[in-house]
Amino acid sequence: MFLEVENISFQYPNSPDYVLKNFTLTVPKGITLAIWGESGSGKSTALRLISGLEIPQQGRIKISGKIMVDHNTFVPPEKRGIGMVFQDYALFPHMTVARNILFGLNKMPAEAKKVRLQEILALVDLKGFEHRYPYELSGGQQQRVALARAIAPKPHLLLLDEPFSNLDSSLKTKIRQELKTIIVQTGITTVFVTHDREDVKCIADIVVILQKGRIMEIGNPSELL
Amino acid sequence: MKSVGNKLKRVAWRATLYLQEVVKVPRNIKLNLNFWSIASFMILLLLLLPNLNILAGLLEEPTENWLHIRTYLLQSYIKNSLVLVGATAVMTIITGTLLAYLVAFYDFPLRGFMRWALILPLAVPPYMAAYTYSGIVSFTGPIQTFLRNTVGVSPNQKYFQIMSPEGAVFIFSLFLYPYVYLMVKAFFEKQSSALIESAQLLGRSPVEILIYTLLPLARPAIIGGVSLVIMEVLNDYGVVHYFGIPVFSTAIFRAWFGMGDLNSAIKLAGLLMILVFATVVIEKLLRGRLSFSYSKSAVRPLVPRRLHKTPAILALTFCLLIFSFGFVIPVFQLFYWGLLTYRSILNYEFIASLFNSVMLAGITSSVIVILALIIGNFARISTNQLGNIVSRIALIGYSIPGTVIAIGVVTFFIQMDSRIYWLYKPIIGGSKKLVLSTSIVMLVFAYIIRFLAIGYNAVDSGFEKIGRKYFEASRTLGANIARTFLLVDLPMLKPAVTGGFILVFVDILKELPLTLILRPFNFHTLATKAFQYANDEMVQEAAIASLIIITVSFLSIYLFYKTAERT
């Protein structure tokens, strides 16, 4: 298994209730898994725990066999080799598209960076936009920059937090297809959370249905939703 | 037997939970131990030590002077301090709230200008206002000269006695009311017009609405504003010294420089500190859960009601009167005096004190902004309550009066000098024992304690504005905390950092008590120069220094008002 989440429990400080309780999940390599649930079901928290933005009170997370967090280990987010697309994209407003994408490539030699940038821009179909600032882009373009930025450093695992929630419904269908194509092209293991059944049906190989911090069902999207 | 078994089970279960926590301790320590946390704690420790020194001093064996002070003087210090604080509080509440009410709810000629012009008295440090006003009403000042030479009356001097507690209250009220005005105005302007309209529909008159609806609602804002006024009054040394009113801050000076009795000075400072903390606690209690603000930005904003004829003239006259007394008159007087005296003033010594002011303010503001960034970043990244506690502590310095901080810092530095004497003995030779405590390092250190809160507030609101999302995005892209801070946070914090820098810079230019006590021998700033001239009966010569400080403060207020309006 590529991603193993074992028995995770998590509660936010000052909150009496657990957001996730004994949450266990495994994701095979190359698979796209959706976590589907209502708001408040703990699905975004699950992504934050996998990425290392939150620390669980209990449990263990492993990525390709290496322990990311347990009672005596914690690997900070920057060392986990994951890419994440945030719900509101969180593009750095003071950097151009190119600099946003290059941000995660700082350890690469300059020449390689240039090549990678062009490669990625082509992949997300944003050639010619490299000198724009985020506020000069449409919602759909911003979303693609966020995706490009997340996959540019070639992460082992891609996490997407409600990737389409900020888009017009007319755009959604098109961008879902594009995202699916990009994920297939790169072959990257992906976990995404959503409350939209259509997202799941269109993109996911497996779906996990989450309710109040507990997994209700796991299975094939076309069967469960 | 069964219940015993259950109990045992429960104990075992608790023990496992406890063990689970204990096992995580090394991991959590490693997680929280980084540059930001260590630096933040070091900074706060340095800030707290001098102040704890003072509280410890309260317990020390009293000297003979102290017995004398306690028996004969302490009562009048307490009485005078409380009278000044109380009367100023009442006057600033009335003036500040009334002006805020007029400007927020009514439209009258020049209202747009008055909205921000009424903040300007804040640009005039009260001690400079005190010199100016006592010059204006003095025997040789413009008013009495006019009465004698033009009108031909020689009035009784007792009507011109500004150097009294009443005079001090006049000065404090006129130049500190903007604290109340600003907070209450901001609060009123956030209210929705539905609030007023519903009260009107219930048959209430404007006065009734003010008294029964608006004032109770604005209570948190009023208390917030007036507590700043009280801090300023307790911090003041310039006004009370010039007017000869014995209060805590002058008493601390006297005990120390007059009687050479540091021990008694510390005791007085300790008492003053207790008074200040009492104010803070009372403020918290009075505000309690009152921090309500009903309005969200979505509601219909307030539309000021147009005033006509007499009410409009009355409103405008009131605003004009306060603005004239609080800004125009003193500034024009200073300008005139400046023209009279600039030839004799602008010498090498003056330039040196100008340079000193700018250098001190520049160095300190830079250091404060850096420290504020470190603490602010720590408060943000810390995942537990520690961050909260740290940011609270960073704010307390501003409520501690300058004289108290000065005493604390001096004792701290003298102790430090004797502790690390071995270190600089080989470098500078054996004769000089006090190195740090006779340098500007001590003064800068004291400024940092007092003004860190100003810089921290600005930086912290900057952090709050950008939130955590960019920080998190950067971390998932492989950048550690330091790289994230330098490449992502810092560029986005630039406006907040600049704002904080300017605010601190201006406050240091104006600062008097700390500078007077802690400056090296023969070291002058614009503020101490103005103080010296005024106290040498050369009020007119103090004008240029005062004008420079007022102009810089004016510019910063203008800048902030304009940027605040835009956002």
Contact A25, A215 (CB under 8 A): yes
Distance to chain A for B384, nearest Cα, Å:
8
Look at residue B307 and tell me whether its pLDDT is greater than 90: no
The set of residues, in sequence order, having a beta carbon less than 8 Å from that of A154 and lying 6+ positions away, is none
Query: Whole domain around residue A57: which residue ranges?
Result: 3-81+155-219
Look at residue B292 and tell me whether its pLDDT is greater than 70: no
Q: Scanning every residue of chain B, which has its alpha carbon at the shortest distance from the alpha carbon of A152? A: B477
Instruction: Provide the H-helix boundaries in B138-258.
Output: 142-146, 165-190, 193-201, 206-208, 215-235, 238-243, 248-253
Q: Scanning every residue of chain B, which has its alpha carbon at the shortest distance from the alpha carbon of A73? A: B27
Q: Which of A18, A47, A51, A53 to mutate to test the interface with B (most CBs of B within 10 A)?
A: A53
The beta-carbon neighbor of B473 closest among A13, A55, A90 is: A90
**Mean pLDDT of all residues in B360-365:** 94
Query: Whole domain around residue B355: which residue ranges?
Result: 338-566
Task: Report DSSP letters for B332-360, one per residue.
Answer: HHHHHHHHHHHHHH-SHHHHHHHHHHHHH
Distance to chain A for B488, nearest Cα, Å:
7
Classify residue A87: in a domain, yes or no.
Answer: no
| Spatial distance between the Cα atoms of A114 and A102, rounded to a whole number of angstroms | 9
Q: How many CB atoms lie within 10 A of CB B308?
A: 9
Classify residue A7: in a domain, yes or no.
Answer: yes
Q: Scanning every residue of chain B, which has its alpha carbon at the shortest distance from the alpha carbon of A88? A: B469
Alpha-carbon distances of B213 from B65, B182, B201, B233, rounded to whole Å: 53, 19, 13, 30
Q: Scanning every residue of chain B, which has its alpha carbon at the shortest distance from the alpha carbon of A81? A: B478
Q: How close are the terminal C-alpha atoms of chain A, in Å?
A: 25
More confident residue, B384 or A116: A116
Q: Which two tokens stand for residue A133?
A: 């600032």
| Spatial distance between the Cα atoms of B267 and B56, rounded to a whole number of angstroms | 9
Confidence (pLDDT) at B172:
95
Interface of B with A (CB under 8 A): 20, 23-24, 26-27, 30-31, 383-385, 469-470, 472-480, 483, 487-488, 491-492
Confidence (pLDDT) at A145:
93
Amino acid B392 reads R
Q: Scanning every residue of chain B, which has its alpha carbon at the shortest distance from the alpha carbon of A155? A: B477
Q: For residue range B133-147, what is the model confidence (pLDDT) as tens digits? A: 988 888 778 888 888
Contact B454, B503 (CB under 8 A): yes
Contact between chains at B479 and A106 (C-beta distance less than 8 A): yes
* Four-residue CA torsion sign, B137, B139, B142, B145: positive
Regions of chain A short of the pLDDT cut 70: none
| Spatial distance between the Cα atoms of B285 and B89, rounded to a whole number of angstroms | 17
Classify residue B59: in a domain, yes or no.
Answer: no
Contact between chains at B476 and A150 (C-beta distance less than 8 A): yes
Biggest alpha carbon–alpha carbon distance for chain A: 52
Classify residue B448: in a domain, yes or no.
Answer: yes
Q: Is A12 touching B (CB cutoff 8 A)?
A: no
Confidence (pLDDT) at B290:
54
Look at residue B231 and tell me whether its pLDDT is greater than 80: yes
Confidence (pLDDT) at B73:
82
CATH number at residue B559: 1.10.3720.10
Ramachandran angles phi, psi of B404, nearest 5°: -65, -45
Q: Which two tokens stand for residue B362?
A: 């520049």
Classify residue A146: in a domain, yes or no.
Answer: no
Contact between chains at A77 and B476 (C-beta distance less than 8 A): yes
Closest CA to B353 of B543, B532, B527: B527
Classify residue B507: in a domain, yes or no.
Answer: yes
Q: How many CB atoms lie within 10 A of CB A91?
A: 24
- Between the CA atoms of A170, A175, A176 and A177, what dihedral angle is there, to the nearest 10 degrees? 110
Contact between chains at B492 and A150 (C-beta distance less than 8 A): no
Distance to chain A for B447, nearest Cα, Å:
33
Q: Which of A10, A22, A94 to mutate to test the interface with B (most CBs of B within 10 A)?
A: A94
- CB under 8 Å, gap of 24 or more: what pairs does B55-62 form? B55/B270, B55/B273, B57/B263, B57/B266, B57/B267, B57/B269, B57/B270, B57/B411, B58/B266, B58/B267, B58/B270, B58/B271, B60/B263, B60/B266, B60/B267, B62/B263, B62/B264, B62/B267
Contact between chains at A149 and B479 (C-beta distance less than 8 A): no
Q: For residue range B162-184, what is the model confidence (pLDDT) as tens digits? A: 888 999 999 999 999 999 999 89
Q: How many contacts (CB atoms, under 8 Å) link A and B?
A: 78
**Mean pLDDT of all residues in B486-503:** 90
Look at residue B298 and tell me whether its pLDDT is greater than 50: no
pTM of the model: 0.85
The beta-carbon neighbor of A73 closest among B27, B483, B492 is: B27
Contact between chains at B476 and A58 (C-beta distance less than 8 A): no
Contact between chains at A53 and B475 (C-beta distance less than 8 A): yes
The 3 state secondary structure assigned to chain A is CCEEEEEEEECCCCCCCCCEEEEEEEECCCCEEEEEECCCCCHHHHHHHHHCCCCCCEEEEEECCEEEEECCEECCHHHCCEEEECCCCCCCCCCCHHHHHHHHHCCCCHHHHHHHHHHHHHHCCCCCCCCCCHHHCCHHHHHHHHHHHHHCCCCCEEEEECCCCCCCHHHHHHHHHHHHHHHHHHCCEEEEEECCHHHHHHHCCEEEEEECCEEEEEECHHHHC
For residue A66, the cross-strand partners are A63
Closest CA to B333 of B523, B527, B519, B540: B540
Domain tally for chain B? 1
Classify residue A93: in a domain, yes or no.
Answer: no
The beta-carbon neighbor of A78 closest among B31, B469, B475 is: B475
| Spatial distance between the Cα atoms of B477 and A82, rounded to a whole number of angstroms | 8
Distance to chain B for A93, nearest Cα, Å:
8
Q: For residue range B91-105, what is the model confidence (pLDDT) as tens digits? A: 999 999 999 999 988
* Top-ranked range on mean pLDDT: pick from A131-135, B11-15, B300-304, B340-344: A131-135
| Spatial distance between the Cα atoms of B103 and B125, rounded to a whole number of angstroms | 24
Confidence (pLDDT) at B400:
84
Q: For residue range B465-474, what is the model confidence (pLDDT) as tens digits? A: 888 899 999 9
Contact between chains at A103 and B26 (C-beta distance less than 8 A): no
Three-state secondary structure call for residue B192: strand
Q: What ipTM does the predicted assembly reach? A: 0.92
Pairing of strands A82-85, A157-161: parallel
Ramachandran angles phi, psi of B255, nearest 5°: -60, -40
Closest CA to A191 of A21, A68, A25, A19: A25
The beta-carbon neighbor of B27 closest among A53, A71, A153 is: A71
Domain tally for chain A? 1
Contact A218, A211 (CB under 8 A): no
Q: Is A88 touching B (CB cutoff 8 A)?
A: yes
Confidence (pLDDT) at B564:
63
| Spatial distance between the Cα atoms of A146 and A143, rounded to a whole number of angstroms | 5
The set of residues, in sequence order, having a beta carbon less than 8 Å from that of B136 and lying 6+ positions away, is B142, B143, B329, B330, B333
For residue A73, the cross-strand partners are A70
Classify residue B37: in a domain, yes or no.
Answer: no
Confidence (pLDDT) at B268:
86
Classify residue B487: in a domain, yes or no.
Answer: yes
A chain contacts of residue B33, beta-carbon cutoff 8 Å: none
Contact B390, B40 (CB under 8 A): yes
| Spatial distance between the Cα atoms of B120 and B227, rounded to a whole number of angstroms | 19
Q: Which of A15, A71, A86, A91 to mutate to test the interface with B (most CBs of B within 10 A)?
A: A71
Q: What percent of chain B has pLDDT over 70?
A: 94
Classify residue A92: in a domain, yes or no.
Answer: no
Distance to chain A for B25, nearest Cα, Å:
8
Contact between chains at B20 and A150 (C-beta distance less than 8 A): no
Look at residue B433 and tell me whether its pLDDT is greater than 80: no
Pairing of strands A3-10, A20-27: antiparallel
Confidence (pLDDT) at B296:
47
Q: Is A2 touching B (CB cutoff 8 A)?
A: no
B chain contacts of residue A78, beta-carbon cutoff 8 Å: 475-480
Pairing of strands A82-85, A3-10: unpaired
Look at residue B344 and tell me whether its pLDDT is greater than 90: no
**Mean pLDDT of all residues in B536-564:** 85
Confidence (pLDDT) at B254:
85
Contact between chains at B473 and A86 (C-beta distance less than 8 A): yes
Q: Rg of chain A over CA atoms, in angstroms?
A: 17
**What DSSP designation does B480 have?**
-
pLDDT tier at B2, thresholds 50, 70, 90: low
Contact B440, B357 (CB under 8 A): no
Classify residue A124: in a domain, yes or no.
Answer: no
Q: For residue range B505-546, what is the model confidence (pLDDT) as tens digits? A: 989 999 998 998 888 888 899 999 888 888 888 888 888 889
The beta-carbon neighbor of B488 closest among A84, A92, A106 is: A92
Confidence (pLDDT) at B315:
92
Q: Which two tokens stand for residue B211?
A: 């008294």
